[in-house]
Amino acid sequence: MANLKEVKERINSVVSTQQITKAMKMVSAAKLRRAQDKIVQMRPYSQKLTQILNNVSASSEGASDIVFAEKREVKNVLIIPVTSDKGLCGAFNTNIIKAVNAAISQRFADKNITILPLGKKSFEAFKKREFKLVPDYYQVFADLTFDNVRNAAEYAMNSFVAGEYDQIYLVFNEFKNVATQLVQVEQFLPMAKEDSAEEKSTAEVDYILEPSRKYIIDELVPTSLKIQFYKAVLESNASEHGARMTAMDKATDNAGELLKELRLMYNRSRQAAITNEILEIVSGANALEAS
């Protein structure tokens, strides 16, 4: 039977842990609400901007004059894994690392790989690997603003135009709901045009572009790409808080179950100790009577 003092210490320890997980769950819930509002507001804007861009690029010469749509032989690939700065969020970060490793081994085994990590967890995971690392933007979540994210997006875009990378991929968790986050491996550059039935119909529409098609493309394409990049980061941010909230909720429930077992163990140990004391008293009394 376990020592009463040891069981009591374990109970106190679990109670303290449960209080921490409850507090972390509440903090994550508050952060999730704000992050969810941001991504819900961003999605329609991003989708509409992409639709406009597709319509414009399909209206005349196509995408041949768009520098960000240039396709070339793939030799150098930039992968941008988006993770969190902190842990305690279940398999959130692990899934991203696994997805990057799987993509490298299955799709880019013979390519020159460069990693641009966003988030401390991805930076720590890849800094000791053999890949070339771009460590300038991994602290983006310390101050998550469009301006800070735009710096990373502009680096990727300028590097693609300069020919440093032939393909650029974003790997992030897409937010579905509090309990569900889907890992996405999304091609960022060159721009991948979707051939949907809706887009085929819009390609037949004759557009009047003012002041000029070139001016609109030069302004619209970079803006659309930066918004797409920012949207992926916001998706990851909302997913992180949802994953942490779920993980802390489960941890709190597990702590409750463990407390039940420990308190039952404590009561049994206490009852056994009382019974032993009674037996010792009775045995002592009987010994006195016999003498």
Instruction: Confirm if 166 and 72 have CB atoms less than 8 A apart.
Output: yes
Strands 167-177 and 180-189, bridge-based pairing: antiparallel
Q: 211: pLDDT confidence band, cut at 50, 70 and 90? A: confident
Q: Which of 7, 82, 89, 152 is catalytic?
A: 89
Tokens of 155: 């680096």
Reply yes or no on whether the pLDDT at 191 is more than 90: no
Q: Which residues pair with 74 in a beta bridge?
A: none
Residues 114-171 pLDDT 10s:
999 999 999 999 998 888 999 999 999 999 999 999 999 999 999 999 999 999 999 9
- Give the model's pLDDT for residue 61: 56
- Across 178-191, average pLDDT: 91
- Give the model's pLDDT for residue 20: 94
Among the listed residues 165, 174, 161, the one whose alpha carbon sits nearest the alpha carbon of residue 228: 174
Confidence (pTM): 0.84
- Reported residue count of the chain is 291
What's the rounded Cα separation, in Å, for the pair 118 and 123? 7
**Domain boundaries defined on the chain:** 4-21+248-281, 25-246
Instruction: Confirm if 232 and 186 have CB atoms less than 8 A apart.
Output: yes
- Give the model's pLDDT for residue 202: 46
- Across 238-255, average pLDDT: 94
Residues 35-71 pLDDT 10s:
999 998 988 988 888 777 777 666 545 555 788 888 8
89 is catalytic: yes
Residues 65-105 pLDDT 10s:
788 888 889 999 999 999 999 999 999 999 999 999 999 99
Q: How far is CA 105 from CA 84, 138, 227, in A?
A: 23, 23, 29
CATH fold of 25-246: Pyruvate Kinase; Chain: A, domain 1 (3.40.1380)
**Residue % of the chain over a pLDDT of 70:** 89
φ, ψ of residue 81 in degrees (nearest 5): -80, 130
